[in-house]
Structure 1
Amino acid sequence: MPELPEVETVKRSLVPHLENTVLSSVITRRKGLRIPFPEQFCQKLSGKKIINITRRGKYLLIYLEKDLVLIIHLGMSGHIRVLQKNIPVPSKHDHIDFVTQNGVTIRYNDPRRFGIVTLAKRETIGSHKLLRNIGPEPLSNSFNAVVLMKKLNGRNIAIKCALLDQKIVAGLGNIYVSESLFRSGISPKRLSKNISFKKAEKLVKMIRIVLTDAINAGGSTLNDHRRPDGKLGYFQYQFLVYGKNGELCGYCEKAKIQKIIQAGRSTFFCSNCQR
């Protein structure tokens, strides 16, 4: 599933092609994805000017005139391409085309169809059911050690599982939690309630560094993620633990990276470096 860096990369790639442009048409090739498209979805968007594009957690928010907001979640396998010349015939999994008056087509592809594409009103976007319970943005000033400690206080679950909870912090997923915990020296099995303030400070710092580095690298391409221009992300070449089960830890050079399953997700860590 695309995580915060991948979605941020998509957002940044779309801005120069979509902001201050008008959608001349919208074409859907099915009735919905994880949820049905709203009634008159194409008609409501066609002819509207795009004002700006933001991100909330793993959601893209595209603001249009008439107080409309297009909400997009890429799900497990969704990706977006920017097509400008020699636009190919849609393939089986190309479900939506957003066509601008400048001749650019933004094509949404999703083989597993777990993504979400829907509409909301600007004035109620903060209370929308998809967004209202999302935690603080990890790269914003609203996320710090004090906030994290309050979120973790008394929670009797492993810190790895807690950080995957979008109510605690927005946008983190399996890859970046594993990498952040390793860089923080925190075992993914440590109970959330046992995280000290000092550890929380380091964890917040490492989360920021890992996410920033991943965004600068265009995200991580493992299975489905590609940038809208078709290029691959390359943060996977900077992984220290993720996907390295059985390899010697490159930091301590004493223990091998282990893999365990937590809440149905794979976790990678070094038992010597992380306590």
Structure 2
Amino acid sequence: MDLFNLKGKTALITGGTHGLGMAMAEALAEAGAQIIVTGNTPEKMEKALEHYHSKGYFAKGYLFDVTDENAAAENLEKISKEIGDIHILVNNAGIIKRELAITMPVSDFRKVIDVDLVGPFIMSQLVAKQMIERKEGKIINICSMMSELGRSTVSAYAAAKGGLKMLTKNLATEWAKHNIQVNGIGPGYFATTQTEPIRVDGHPFNEFIISRTPAARWGNPEDLGGAAIFLASKASDFVNGQIIYVDGGILATIGKPSNED
């Protein structure tokens, strides 16, 4: 289907060496895009590129910190010379530090904001300059259910993701006139290596997520693929400033009584 065809497009996915970033990168590659992934761990980058190449994808990797505007600018200039323009930017790189707000070091709070909110701003600003010249571009910010909800021990993460939601809307407002669409994806709870320890049968949090989610399961990383392709393709040319929550229905419901089937 031509609406979703990404052949001839180049997509840059920050933090695309593992987890949900890798799943979205694979989806974009399957739709025909060349993929560029960023990271800051050489070992993870090497394994990721081996994985992408084993599937026959065009994939290149660049190691730099997205919160360092100078390093980001230098690497984007290198990408432009070696590969060409970026048509799709997925701001996926992020961290979380779980700590009660009353005891969380301010330095940890700042670090989460820097990576999860300032990093996407830096990358979007740099990539948008070439998108504006070309009068075309797609930016996808990976938000979270914590863009909408609060939960104990994730105050910094929720603040950053809430800020990213509003950054998405504001960048969409400023850049829509240049035919740039800026949208977000808000993942729910997904089955990844990070959540594996709490997904075992009988674990209280596992039971909580399954009972709280109308779909009655954790998301699989590939569940993000459709939303990523949609927001990266011509199919979303008149969609701007929106957050698509891929959460199995959690945000749609207040939950169910304990005695309900």
Pick the TM interval, shorter chain: under 0.3
TM-score normalised over the length of structure 1: 0.25
Q: Could you say which structure has the higher helix fraction?
A: 2
Bigger radius of gyration among the two: 1
TM-score normalised over the length of structure 2: 0.26
